[in-house]
Amino acid sequence: MKKIILVMLLITSLVSLAASGANEHEAKAVQTYTFGGSTTVAPIANAALTAFLADRPHVKITYETLGSSTGIKQLQEGTLSLAGSSRELKSSELEAGLKPIVIALDGLSVAVNSNVPIANLSMHQLSQIFAGEITNWKEVGGNDAKIEVIVRDETSGTYASFKEIVLDPLKKSYTLKAIVARENGELATKISSTPNSIGYIGMAFNHIVEESGGHVLMIDSVIPSNENVINKSYPISRSLYLVSVGELIPSVELDFVNYVLSAKGQAIVADNEFIPLP
């Protein structure tokens, strides 16, 4: 009888240990989250995630570069739990309960290939070029050469921001003859490799054009710089956002947003050549 009791006690102990081990494993299970959206916001998000997750070994977060509009759509569908956007939210998106949180400032630079001897354009000239109304550089004081317009794809927040700031006020639309690039880096590279070209990029990507011999233009005689974006004298400026569904409750998403808005997070914004919030 004693042997039977001992065996039963041993089995009970083993079961308890197994259950305890299972509970401990469950407690340490990795929590997985997916953020995504704007390719412009991606450098900030990815660098911030690396630092944010350093002391959170049981949390895994990825940021998918989808474009602002696709990211916002997937946020609404529940595929993402936080979206990055480099454009203003539409009234329909705000009415649907989406909440934009400003995390940084940015300017859109207008850059040209190295063979374009132009230093400055007015906002009006810029709108005419991107609408396809001015098609030769000689019309704005340059060489007798066809202008090659390069734009972002339609899902891009940069595409939408440029349209809202430059084209919409004059009721113009993009020319249908433009070359399309999917990302800021790709667009900057295409400007550098396409003679007589012009395009727009986030200011953080200026170096890609400049390293290849292209150059960034003044707009209305104002240089695209951090100072001029902050003081609002540079006309093609915007905010960058993280977007949530409604007000964030205590969660990993809220912790991440607060981290990006903290002094450490804003230092990451600056390290990635965007403009911290004043």
Structural domain containing residue 250: 31-105+239-271
Nearest to 38, CA basis, from 110, 127, 104: 104
Q: How many domains does the chain have?
A: 2
- Regarding whether 119 and 91 lie in a shared domain, the answer is no
What 3-state DSSP class applies to 98?
strand
- For residues 114 and 226, membership in a common domain is answered with yes
What per-residue confidence (pLDDT) applies to 11? 47
Domain annotation covers residue 96: yes
Name the average pLDDT for the chain. 91
* Same domain (yes/no): 100, 117: no
| Nearest CA-CA partner of 75 in 276, 208, 244, 256 | 244
Do 184 and 143 fall within a single domain? yes
pLDDT in tens, 13-36: 544 544 545 454 445 689 999 999
Q: Other CB atoms closer than 10 Å to residue 124's CB: what's the count?
A: 13
- Residue 157 resides in a domain: yes
Same domain, 75 and 142: no
Average pLDDT, integer, range 2-20? 48
Does 74 share its domain with 161?
no
Query: The tokens 């205590």 sit on which residue?
Result: 250
Using a 10 angstrom Cβ sphere, with 0-12 exposed, 13-18 middle and 19 or more buried, the burial of residue 142 is middle
CATH code at position 178: 3.40.190.10
13 part of a folded domain: no
Average pLDDT rounded to a whole number, residues 3-16: 48
At 95-105, the pLDDT tens digits run: 999 999 999 99
Distance of CA 79 to the CA centre of its chain: 18
Regarding whether 137 and 119 lie in a shared domain, the answer is: yes
124 located within any domain: yes
pLDDT of residue 21: 52
126 and 209 belong to one structural domain: yes
**Tell me, what's the pLDDT at 213?**
84
Local confidence band at 208 (pLDDT 50, 70, 90 cut-offs): confident
When pLDDT is averaged across residues 144-166 and rounded to a whole number, the result is 94
- Residues 48 and 256 sit within 8 Å (Cβ to Cβ): yes
**CA geometry: angle at 267 spanning 266 and 269, to 5°?**
60
The average pLDDT across 242-246 equals: 97
CA triple 36-41-45, angle to 5 deg: 70
